[in-house]
Amino acid sequence: MQTKNMQTKAAIMRALLREGIVVSPGIYDGLSARMVERAGFKAAATGGSGFSNALMGQPDIGLLSMTENVDACRHLVRSVSIPIMADAETGYGNPVTVYHAVQYFEEAGVVGMNIEDQLSPKRCGHMQGKELISPREMAKKIEAAVKAKKDPDFIINARTDAIAVEGLDSAIRRAQLYVSAGADMVFPDAVHTEDDIRRFVDAVSVPVSINMGFAIRSRPTTPLISVKRLAELGVARVSAARMLPAAALMGMHKALEVLNESLSSGEVRDRPDLIYGMEEITSLMGYAHIADLESMFLLEEQLQNKYGTAKPDYVIRES
């Protein structure tokens, strides 16, 4: 049970935002979540695209259900100690649906959630053909989200995709309306220039979140800008939603190339530079903690039967 002297993760996230710009790499499974925490990042973020691609093998076109998203977030929250913000896409319906979605996501343990003003079924922010709901309807979704949250520190992050559809001025007007409706943070997607980011930050009274899209080889929606420069522009949070999924894909691609070459040549090629070793994986995933629990709670004869010794051995070796 949460005691009065303990901060919630949402309160911790709020404190981080007050201290300076928060970098939140995008995570999509337990491995990426643990890697982000181990690398020293203080927060992370989920993405609908990462879940849709990794869990379903489908494009990000609104196929991921609310319960699938919430369940995935719940597992990730349990796997790390750092705050995680979730991507709740369009809120999965009208304001009444948003009201319930907030409660599900908050119960899963995330510290906040994005809600975007796209027409459902939505699509990835990097895709063409996005359509928007009216600003008034989105404001009602924000009102419902604020009303639904139980922890006052839970962050309602209002994302607008209006820049690509209606232009920067419209996006700013929408964001100001969403702030008036109670949004704790705003997230303009696909901002084109540094000057546009500065204009947006100056126009709203809440923290602004910007997404950096790495490895977009043609017509990037937002140029790559250093974290230092984003902080100078007044940005409170920067996410990198697709960096880790894209890096993992490249790693798998290269590893499979090596395997195919080995099959073709008939020669075994070990490339430890391309893969994590088993010892590294067991360390990352906390196998030593399981060994400690077994030492505390299993009977001595059980340990002897399992390991031939009273001390568990959780080093995984190749069979």
**Residue 168 sits in the same domain as residue 310:** no
Supply the CATH number for residue 201's domain.
3.20.20.60
Whether 18 maps to a domain, the answer reads yes
**Residue 237 sits in the same domain as residue 280:** no
Q: Give the residue from 34, 39, 151, 143 showing the smallest Cα distance to 84.
A: 34
Whether 261 maps to a domain, the answer reads no
**Residue 53 sits in the same domain as residue 154:** yes
**Residue 162 sits in the same domain as residue 37:** yes
Whether 3 maps to a domain, the answer reads no
Q: Which two tokens stand for residue 300?
A: 């001595």
**Residue 298 sits in the same domain as residue 200:** no
- Give the pLDDT confidence score for residue 61 in this predicted structure: 82
**Residue 172 sits in the same domain as residue 297:** no
**Residue 157 sits in the same domain as residue 230:** yes
Per-residue pLDDT of the chain (319 residues; tens, 9 = 90+): 444 557 899 999 999 999 999 999 999 999 999 999 999 999 999 998 899 999 999 988 888 999 999 999 999 999 999 999 999 999 999 999 999 999 999 999 999 999 999 988 777 766 676 889 999 999 999 999 999 999 999 999 999 999 989 999 999 999 999 999 999 999 999 899 999 999 999 999 999 999 987 655 555 578 889 999 999 999 999 999 889 999 999 999 999 999 999 898 888 888 888 889 888 999 999 999 998 999 999 999 999 998 888 777 665 554 4
Whether 247 maps to a domain, the answer reads no
Asked which of 187, 214, 241 is the last residue of a domain, the reply is 241
Whether 251 maps to a domain, the answer reads no
Whether 307 maps to a domain, the answer reads yes
**Residue 140 sits in the same domain as residue 232:** yes
Whether 257 maps to a domain, the answer reads no
| Residues 143, 183 contacting (CB under 8 angstroms) | no
**Residue 164 sits in the same domain as residue 237:** yes
| Domain span at 121 | 9-241
- Give the pLDDT confidence score for residue 3 in this predicted structure: 45
Asked which of 197, 217, 241 is the last residue of a domain, the reply is 241
Virtual torsion, Cα 177, 178, 180, 181, nearest 10 deg: 120
Model-level pTM? Answer: 0.91
**Residue 28 sits in the same domain as residue 156:** yes
Asked which of 241, 256, 288 is the last residue of a domain, the reply is 241
- Give the pLDDT confidence score for residue 5 in this predicted structure: 56
**Residue 173 sits in the same domain as residue 280:** no
Whether 106 maps to a domain, the answer reads yes
- State how many domains the chain has: 2
**Residue 95 sits in the same domain as residue 189:** yes
